Amino acid sequence: MQYKVIVEDATRGLMGDNSGMETSAAILADKVNEAIKDGWEPLGGIAHSENRQENPFLLQAMINRSPIPAGDAEEVPSPVPTEA
């Protein structure tokens, strides 16, 4: 299984133009729909976050249940046990 988060910058909606947030939501929806075509599934709903400058972002978590080809899997090293 694979996991990713699609992020869309929503700062366009900060200038008093509500259509900016709607545009960002539409762009995120397009990105999510493209991912769905590639075998990804949304996991939960859309999240809203801000960076340190208080710029908003829209996020959608996605999962892909298809097996990862062996050559594409990122190997994470196991921690080495410490001796007492």
pLDDT (tens, 9 = 90+) of the chain, 84 residues, equals 999 999 999 886 555 556 678 889 999 999 999 999 999 999 999 999 988 888 889 999 999 998 876 555 555 565 665 565
- pLDDT for 14 equals 55
Nearest to 42 by CA among 32, 52, 50: 32
**So what's the pLDDT on residue 39?**
95
CA angle 59, 42, 29 (to 5 degrees): 60
pLDDT at 30: 97
